[in-house]
């Protein structure tokens, strides 16, 4: 018997289609059964074939002290896997075994109730996350200090700002000391500074000898925290190994077959009232190209369409250029330039001109982001790839050494020697 | 916010380096003390891990505590509601069943006769309603963290005891007012209370699971409770039931509870052993079936709630 902290063998989870329908009413079930009996058909709401395997035949092991990242598309089965490991739902076949106290951080603020005071919520939430009362007593001051809510301890939570609630919730969760920690996209909430704090704390936990399973969309976070990763695709394990390799293979699979067309883009989030439809690069001659040169004038063009035909108010367009592993290199954003908050046409093309493409040779990815009417409308990650070939950014005819391919932003600079 | 530096702001993200021994601030526990959590498909029969339930008893306490706190923070009258509701019901029933219909009340003044039964009945009916909604009301927590789900209906059933305690004080006051001094039989009150608790819990297990699957079940429960009340000796004495049918009548555990409770407080008309036996048997059966059903449905509940 190995000293595996987490062991998963032959795990499978099947859902009956339609099971996730909410608000099934007994009277509907009964009336369906009765009318079905009259029609002399099998009296089931769904036919016998209506099954979906969210996970099938998943097996892997995680050694004690390892931090494992789990990546995959939406609907691949990552969250289901985490739920089974946490014990929230039971598998249809196979089993999972975790050694040690398990802490599950599947959301921030588990157990919080608006009518209870901050103090009461800390106790209840701490208890439900797995801490004993004595433990909470011991850590209480620390938890409160970390969140910075000392003066509001005895006011009901409903009077807290959302930022305070988030900080308190995270603070409780951060003081858990389980042997195995399961984290699911918790970092996707809150503002940038809060996310940085979370990331920092996660890093601490990962280095303290605990076993951590970390599910995230953000490949950059995975690469930062997890030496090894697991790629879950359509209910099965597609790859497992060093993160750089697994993430690279995963991102390669995200590129849609037809360059530039975004209909089939799989990693996209947002409200969706306005969507990007196509995106491509144009070289200095104005022709669409997948290969451009370092230092040349490049236009990134993205066409978008609005579902309701209304002009876009308070819009913001953003393009992030990333390396092949999804790590962001630099950002172009309409809100960074002169303030121009004119309403935009409901459909059209947005063009971002880079006078001198500051990228070394290699392959890069684009992430597109669109905000309108105060909400994120479309966020397509790592959707479009393009190649940069050697050019003449510095005017000297020279390029960075080969080891810097695909990961180098070029910046104008001067050298001097001083006594 | 305070001006003191937040230690976390200083520790920016560390690169992925393997952990060095001694670098860790808080080492995890030694190997020998580690518990193992195994998750596998539900078995067809009795599949309870009693040791686990004991480990979560603190959480049960917190659930009950939270339930009570929230309830009393939300009502204006607070504790007064626990008394107001049964008293009002009692007045109405006394008027119509006692005075006008002249239902026999075993030698006791009708208001006392009725209130003696109404008290445990109110506890039962509140516990039942609470238990039914317990799983669905906590759906957010259930889908995010693991704990034995049976804690939910159990905590709902326990939290009704506070209201019961308050109303019980009123009952004792009423008994003294009618010059019915409670005797040594009073010691049996906890026993009948336990019987009522178990019944509410057993029925609550079924209803909680069913309500999670079919959301309209909770609307049927008040109706169910009403019917159940008339099937129990609340408004009338069980002596009205012909002797040969009394054992069947007694299978309703609440029959034993009501009769027994009334006797324990007033000393009048002790329940027959046959009735009590049937009630105890009834509750054991309900409990076993409830526990089995709830356990089987636990996984499905987590998927649909």
Domain architecture of chain A: domains with CATH? 4-15+51-251 (3.40.50.300), 268-404 (2.70.50.60)
pLDDT for res B176? 81
The per-residue pLDDT for range A12-21, each reduced to its tens digit, is 998 876 554 5
SS3 A63: strand
Whether B7 shows a pLDDT value over 60: the answer reads no
Q: Which CA distances in Å does B253 have to B115, B133, B217, B250?
A: 19, 22, 22, 7
Of A178, A181, A177, A164, the closest CA to residue A109 belongs to A164
Q: Is the confidence metric ipTM above 0.90 for this complex?
A: no
pLDDT for res A382? 80
- How high does pLDDT run on average in chain B? 79
Whether B293 shows a pLDDT value over 70: the answer reads yes
Of A392, A364, A400, the closest CA to residue A281 belongs to A364
* Cross-chain residue pair B146–A87, CB shorter than 8 Å: yes
Residues B199 and B286 sit within 8 Å (Cβ to Cβ): yes
* Cross-chain residue pair B13–A177, CB shorter than 8 Å: no
A208 against A64, higher pLDDT: A64
- Any idea what DSSP says for residue B238? G
Of A33, A31, A28, A51, the closest CA to residue A43 belongs to A33
Q: Which residues of A touch B66 (CB under 8 A)?
A: 113, 116, 120, 124
- How high does pLDDT run on average in chain A? 82
Residues B305 and B277 sit within 8 Å (Cβ to Cβ): no
pLDDT bucket at B21, cuts 50 / 70 / 90: very low
CA distance A47 to A52: 13
The per-residue pLDDT for range B269-284, each reduced to its tens digit, is 777 888 888 889 999 9
* Cross-chain residue pair B39–A102, CB shorter than 8 Å: no
Q: Which residues of A touch B58 (CB under 8 A)?
A: 127, 132-133
pLDDT for res B113? 80
Find the range with the poorest average confidence among A176-190, B225-239, B288-302. Answer: A176-190
Q: Which residues of B touch A153 (CB under 8 A)?
A: none
CA distance A281 to B62: 59
CA distance A229 to A223: 9
pLDDT bucket at A408, cuts 50 / 70 / 90: confident
The per-residue pLDDT for range B22-74, each reduced to its tens digit, is 333 344 455 556 788 888 887 766 667 777 788 889 999 999 999 888 887 77
Identity of the highest mean pLDDT range in A29-43, B174-188, B273-287: B273-287
The 10 Å Cβ neighbour count of residue A317 is 22
Whether B13 shows a pLDDT value over 80: the answer reads no
Q: Which CA distances in Å does A69 have to A215, A222, A403, B113?
A: 6, 6, 26, 66
Find the range with the poorest average confidence among A249-263, B46-60, B113-127, B286-300. Answer: A249-263
Contacts of residue B55, defined as CB under 8 A and 6 or more positions apart, other chains included, come to none
SS3 A211: strand
The 10 Å Cβ neighbour count of residue A207 is 21
The 10 Å Cβ neighbour count of residue A41 is 10
**Residue in chain B nearest A109 by alpha carbon:** B141
* Cross-chain residue pair B28–A25, CB shorter than 8 Å: no
* Cross-chain residue pair A25–B215, CB shorter than 8 Å: yes
pLDDT bucket at B98, cuts 50 / 70 / 90: confident
Whether B158 shows a pLDDT value over 90: the answer reads yes
């Amino acid at each position: 018997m190995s000293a595996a902290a987490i062991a998963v063998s032959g795990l499978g989870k099947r859902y009956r289609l339609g099971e996730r329908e909410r608000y099934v009413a007994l009277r509907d079930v009964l009336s369906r059964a009765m009318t079905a009996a009259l029609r002399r058909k099998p009296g089931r709401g769904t036919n016998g074939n209506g099954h979906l395997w969210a996970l099938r035949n998943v097996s892997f092991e995680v050694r004690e002290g390892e931090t494992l990242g789990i990546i995959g598309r939406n609907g691949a089965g990552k969250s289901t896997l985490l739920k089974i490991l946490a014990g929230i739902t039971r598998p249809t076949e196979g089993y999972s075994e975790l050694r040690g106290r398990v802490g599950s951080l599947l959301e921030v603020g588990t157990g919080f109730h608006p009518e209870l005071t901050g103090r009461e919520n800390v106790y209840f939430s701490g208890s439900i996350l797995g801490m004993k009362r004595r433990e909470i007593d011991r850590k209480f001051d620390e938890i409160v200090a970390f969140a910075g809510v000392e003066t509001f301890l005895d006011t009901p939570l409903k009077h807290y700002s959302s930022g305070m609630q988030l900080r308190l919730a995270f603070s409780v969760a951060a003081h858990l000391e389980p042997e195995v920690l399961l984290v699911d996209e918790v970092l996707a909430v809150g503002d940038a500074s809060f996310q940085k704090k979370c990331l920092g704390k996660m890093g601490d936990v990962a280095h303290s000898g605990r076993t951590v399973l970390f599910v995230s969309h953000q490949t950059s976070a995975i690469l930062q925290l997890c030496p090894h990763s697991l790629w879950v695709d359509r209910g099965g394990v597609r790859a497992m190994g060093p993160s750089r390799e697994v993430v690279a293979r995963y991102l390669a699979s995200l590129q849609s077959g037809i360059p530039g067309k975004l209909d089939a883009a799989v990693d996209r989030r947002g409200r969706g009232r306005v969507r990007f439809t196509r995106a491509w690069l144009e070289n200095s001659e104005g022709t669409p190209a997948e290969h451009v040169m370092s230092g040349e004038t490049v236009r990134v063009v993205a066409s978008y369409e609005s579902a309701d035909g209304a002009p876009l108010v308070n819009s913001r367009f953003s393009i992030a250029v990333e390396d092949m592993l999804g790590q962001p290199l630099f950002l172009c954003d309409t809100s960074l330039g002169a303030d121009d908050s004119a309403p935009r046409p409901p459909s059209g093309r947005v063009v971002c001109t880079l006078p001198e493409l500051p990228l070394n040779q290699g392959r890069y990815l684009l992430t597109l982001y669109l905000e309108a009417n105060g909400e994120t409308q479309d966020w397509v990650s790592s959707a479009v790839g393009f190649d940069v070939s050697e050019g003449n950014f510095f005017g000297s005819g020279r390029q960075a050494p080969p080891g810097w391919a695909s990961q180098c932003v070029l910046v104008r600079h001067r050298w001097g020697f001083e006594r | 916010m305070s001006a003191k530096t937040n230690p976390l702001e200083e520790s920016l993200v560390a690169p992925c380096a393997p952990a060095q021994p001694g670098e860790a601030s808080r080492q995890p526990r030694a190997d020998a003390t580690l518990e193992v959590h195994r998750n596998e498909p539900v078995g067809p029969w009795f599949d309870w891990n009693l040791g686990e339930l004991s480990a979560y008893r603190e959480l049960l306490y917190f659930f009950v505590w939270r339930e009570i706190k929230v309830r009393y923070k939300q009502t204006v009258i607070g504790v007064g509601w626990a008394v107001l509701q049964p008293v009002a019901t009692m007045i109405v029933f006394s008027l119509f069943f006692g005075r006008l219909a002249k239902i026999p009340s075993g030698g006791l003044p009708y208001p006392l006769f009725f209130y003696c039964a109404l008290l445990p009945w109110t506890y039962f009916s509140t516990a039942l309603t609470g238990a039914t909604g317990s799983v669905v009301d906590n759906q957010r927590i259930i889908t995010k963290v693991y704990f034995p789900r049976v804690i939910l209906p159990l905590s709902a059933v326990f939290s009704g005891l506070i209201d019961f305690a308050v109303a019980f004080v009123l009952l004792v006051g009423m008994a003294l007012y009618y010059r019915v001094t409670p005797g040594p039989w009073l010691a049996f009150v906890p026993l009948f209370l336990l019987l009522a608790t178990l019944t509410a819990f057993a029925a609550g297990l079924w209803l909680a699971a069913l309500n999670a699957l079919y959301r309209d079940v909770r609307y049927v429960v008040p109706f169910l409770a009403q019917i159940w009340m008339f099937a129990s000796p609340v408004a009338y004495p069980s002596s009205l039931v012909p002797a040969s049918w009394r054992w069947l009548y007694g299978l309703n555990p609440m029959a034993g509870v009501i009769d027994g409770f009334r006797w324990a407080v007033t000393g009048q008309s002790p329940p027959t052993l046959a009735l009590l036996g049937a009630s105890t048997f009834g509750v054991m059966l309900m409990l076993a079936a409830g526990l089995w059903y709830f356990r089987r449905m636990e996984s499905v509940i987590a998927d649909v709630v």
